[in-house]
Amino acid sequence: PMIGLYAAFMMGLITSAIGGRPGMISGATGAMAVVMVALVAEHGVQYLFAAVLLAGLLQILCGVFRLGKFIRLVPYPVMLGFVNGLAIVIFLAQLGQFKVTGALGTQEWMSGTMLYIMLGLVALTMAIIYLLPKLTKAVPASLAAIITITLLVHGLDMEARTVIDFVRDMLPVDQRDSATLAGELPTFAIPMVPFNWDTLMIILPTSVILCLVGLIESLLTLTLIDEMTDTRGRGNKECIGQGVANTVNGFFGGMGGCAMIGQSMININSGGRGRLSGITAAVVLLGFILFAAPLIEMIPLAALVGVMFVVVIGTFEWASFRIIRGVNKEDAFVLFLVTAVTVIADLAIAVVVGVIVSALVFAWKAARYVDSKTHIDDDGWKVYELRGPVFFGSVSHFKELFDVANDPEDVVIDFKNSRIWDSSGIDALDGLADKYEQAGKKLHIRHVSQECQSLLNKAGKFVEINVNEDPRYRIATDKLA
């Protein structure tokens, strides 16, 4: 537990101080922890620290090279699926608190009086959080609810599980009696691993995944908070902030982390919008670790579960049920897919899958829009007036639009209402020009950009330049990328 607490302190402090999204809370997260399990089991915790350190450096590079802007490519249905899936994950995680260790050492569902007390305390916590703001906003409702439930449980000596009970359940049986959240200041130490190529090959795969998972979760949380607060965070600066925090974690024995959407929602809903809120949370956490661990250990789990249930209700996009009826079936499918993958697998995987599927759906839909309108002009030339994008998804249909064998001697391909998007479109136009040339017919290509003309091979010599009318746009090619 201390490795996670140290990570929460360092991540929260550093990202709040230098990150790109004031009000966002960072710390150790489950998504990051899942990635680390195999590395720790096979090579030990020192390799974990080295992997976290390297992941931080990679995140800094992502910020320096301004890769944070690519979060804007995440479509709205993917964002909805991410948020809804995350709310479901948070909800399911709380259900584990309704279990206790049975006589045989196995986890069993609560029953009887203990269950009724748990449900009652959870309901009371939620009621305080919802009703207190109607009376006063001087004290954060979540904090007031936790304090009230803690005093009630210990004042009436209720049978309720507390934080220290949860910690004990995570430890081996022989360590449970000495379990505590008390600790000391984290100390600087270089990870004790060999500094060689073999070590790099061991930690690099884990570091890359940690880097990507951390940035995806952090930048999506940043985007969500932007929408809630009607402000705009700085994605590239957040990449650097997350990277610095993880690098420091590697040197001070933390497990690293990223933005935490649940805690961020609590902070925002409690009025914490600036950097001071995150810094205060980190400093107070360290203070409890050093001086007041017993106070944290005595908090009833029911109070924390109640707070998280409120977060779930506030995070889930209930409007998505209404939105689904008004959007096309492809977007609805993406929303459900991302939600399901988030619950079954992982948040980062869900977002990547959602973006890929959305891109394929977009390409499939855009491919259907390429068309042409033909007519014979006054000179007897056949004119193809193209409409729609010409790219990898539409080149097959693009080629079917032309009748090379039966066209007259002069043919015009007009791109005034069309655009060539990528190198596949360039190649398709070159191939078409070659067919007309072999058929002994004269081709005229109009209204393509200068860059497009420079990339054409066989078709380039057929382009008719009109500086006043020709569009200006760039083509996505390997050369330009």
Least confident of 2-6, 171-175, 429-433: 171-175
Name the region of 190 (left: φ>0; alpha: ψ -120 to 50; beta: rest). Answer: beta
Q: Tell me which of 405 and 35 has the higher pLDDT.
A: 405
Radius of gyration of the chain (CA): 29
With 0-12 / 13-18 / 19 or more C-beta atoms within 10 angstroms meaning exposed / middle / buried, residue 179 is middle
228 has a pLDDT exceeding 50: yes
Q: What is the pLDDT of residue 104?
A: 72
Q: What is the pLDDT of residue 425?
A: 87
Residue owning tokens 């689904």: 324
* pLDDT digit string, tens, across residues 140-192: 888 899 999 999 999 998 988 999 888 888 777 777 777 788 888 888 889 99
Q: Count H helices, E strands: the chain? A: 19, 9
Q: What is the pLDDT of residue 74?
A: 83
Q: What is the pLDDT of residue 387?
A: 92
Q: Tell me which of 453 and 320 has the higher pLDDT.
A: 320
241 has a pLDDT exceeding 80: yes
Q: What is the pLDDT of residue 375?
A: 92
| Residue type present at position 272 | G
Question: What is the mean pLDDT of the segment spanning 356-370?
Answer: 87
Which ranges of 96-135 would DSSP assign to H, the alpha helix?
112-135
Q: What is the pLDDT of residue 467?
A: 46
248 has a pLDDT exceeding 80: yes
Task: Output the 3-class SS for 335-355.
Answer: HHHHHHHHHHCCHHHHHHHHH
**pLDDT band per the 50, 70, 90 thresholds, residue 12:** very high
End-to-end CA separation in angstroms for the chain: 45
Mean residue pLDDT across the chain: 87
Q: What is the pLDDT of residue 481?
A: 34
Quote the CATH superfamily of domain 368-464: STAS domain (3.30.750.24)
Least confident of 282-286, 323-327, 407-411, 420-424: 323-327
The Cα–Cα gap between 374 and 383 comes to 5
The Cα–Cα gap between 303 and 435 comes to 74
The Cα–Cα gap between 460 and 453 comes to 6
Could you give the 3-state DSSP secondary structure of residue 162? Answer: strand
Residues 6+ apart with CB under 8 A from 230: none
Question: What is the mean pLDDT of the segment spanning 188-197?
Answer: 91
Domain ranges of the chain: 2-357, 368-464
* pLDDT digit string, tens, across residues 436-479: 989 999 888 888 877 777 777 666 677 766 545 556 656 554 44
Residues 6+ apart with CB under 8 A from 3: 28, 45, 253, 254, 255
Q: What is the pLDDT of residue 458?
A: 63
